[in-house]
Amino acid sequence: MSIKIENLVHIYMAGGPFEKKALDNINLEIKDGEFVTLIGHTGSGKSTLIQHLNGLLKPTSGRIVVDGVDITEKNVKLTEIRKKIGLVFQYPEYQLFEETIEKDIQFGPRNLGLSEEEINKRVKKAMSMVGLDYEEYKDKSPFELSGGQKRRVAIAGVVAMEPKVLILDEPTAGLDPKGRDEILAQVKQLHKEYNMTTIIVSHSMEDVAKIADRVIVLNKGKAVLDGVPRDI
Ligand code: ATP
Ligand code: MG
């Protein structure tokens, strides 16, 4: 799936005393199958930008066109968009709400109306891709996990939907170097296997050099650099 961001502006609390322009006229085109890393300092607008890509926020102005459809239009069915554009939040707790890990990961694929057999197949595959042993983890509560494990569950839940676009907000945050390398290798593998358009948000160039085809740097709500990792 291709994504075109046109003149996107996002102002939080517009018109109020604490008005904050988080995105300042962003123009970007992400091609089908591309692997992009979005980097920038804290507060540069990364999370704001990606939340626009699956319709979680409404632009102050500008539009986002996904495979030719303007998803900022009033009549667009966001539930349909979200089946195709999977977003793993910066804080994975937001995505974990069932009493067991298995149920949490089943949630997305179940919304796609798949058979139980297909759902279970996908859950097992997604868990193995993020490095969680199915038998060991399936009945555990997501709340008893470490931060890194919760992140893996949240990623598995989105991956099990087999979205056309996979967006991960700081998937390596809070992980040790080994965990970080594992997650990045798994994301790379997912990209290869499903050829999904992939966007990883990160603070760190280190992650970028390893895996992305393209790096976009945000600074104070503007896209200030865009290129292949070795040139940046
Ligand atoms: P981080 O690396 O810390 O996650 P980020 O690049 O993801 O940062 P955003 O979360 O997009 O940055 O925030 C961009 C700006 O918008 C920041 O100045 C932030 O304070 C502000 N902001 C973000 N969310 C809100 C909100 N819900 N209400 C008001 N201001 C917000
Ligand atoms: Mg963020």
Q: Is the CB of 90 under 6 A from ligand 1?
A: yes
Q: What is the mean pLDDT of the chain?
A: 92
Q: Domain range spanning residue 182?
A: 3-231
Q: What is the pLDDT of residues 164-216, one digit of tens each?
A: 999 999 988 878 888 888 888 889 988 998 899 999 999 877 777 668 899 99
Q: Is the CB of 59 under 6 A from ligand 1?
A: no
Strands across the sheet with 69-70, in order? 20-30, 3-12, 61-66, 69-70
What is the average pLDDT across 39-65? 96
Report which protein residue has its CA nearest ligand 1's atom 21: 22
Cα distances from 141 to residues 97, 112, 151, 153, 179, in angstroms, run: 9, 24, 14, 11, 21
What is the average pLDDT across 205-229? 88
Cα distances from 138 to residues 26, 27, 106, 110, in angstroms, run: 41, 42, 11, 16
- Atom of ligand 1 lying closest to residue 47 CA: 7
Would you state the pLDDT for residue 209?
A: 66
We report the CATH number of the domain holding residue 132 as 3.40.50.300
Would you state the pLDDT for residue 232?
A: 66
Full-model pTM: 0.94
pLDDT band per the 50, 70, 90 thresholds, residue 66: very high
Would you state the pLDDT for residue 229?
A: 83
Query: Does 223 have pLDDT greater than 70?
Result: yes
ipTM associated with this complex: 0.99
Q: Is the CB of 13 under 6 A from ligand 1?
A: yes
What is the average pLDDT across 132-136? 96
Query: Does 31 have pLDDT greater than 70?
Result: yes
Query: Does 77 have pLDDT greater than 70?
Result: yes
The ligand placed nearest to the CA atom of residue 46 is: 1
Q: Is the CB of 52 under 6 A from ligand 1?
A: no
Query: Does 8 have pLDDT greater than 70?
Result: yes
Report which protein residue has its CA nearest ligand 1's atom 30: 12
Range with the lowest mean pLDDT among 20-24, 78-82, 119-123? 78-82
How many domains are contained in the chain?
1
Report which protein residue has its CA nearest ligand 1's atom 29: 12
The ligand placed nearest to the CA atom of residue 39 is: 1
Q: Is the CB of 149 under 6 A from ligand 1?
A: no
Q: Is the CB of 151 under 6 A from ligand 1?
A: no
Would you state the pLDDT for residue 100?
A: 97
Q: What is the pLDDT of residues 90-120, one digit of tens each?
A: 988 888 989 999 999 999 999 999 999 999 9
CA 69 to ligand 2 centroid distance, Å: 26
- Choosing from 23, 42, 222 the residue with most ligand 1 atoms within 8 A of its CB, the one to mutate for a pocket test is 42
In one-letter notation, the amino acid at residue 15 is G
How, if at all, do strands 222-227 and 214-219 pair?
antiparallel
pLDDT band per the 50, 70, 90 thresholds, residue 71: very high
* Backbone angles phi and psi of 11, in degrees to 5: -115, 120
pLDDT band per the 50, 70, 90 thresholds, residue 61: very high
Angstrom distance (rounded) from CA 190 to CA 192: 5
Query: Does 12 have pLDDT greater than 90?
Result: yes
Query: Does 53 have pLDDT greater than 90?
Result: yes
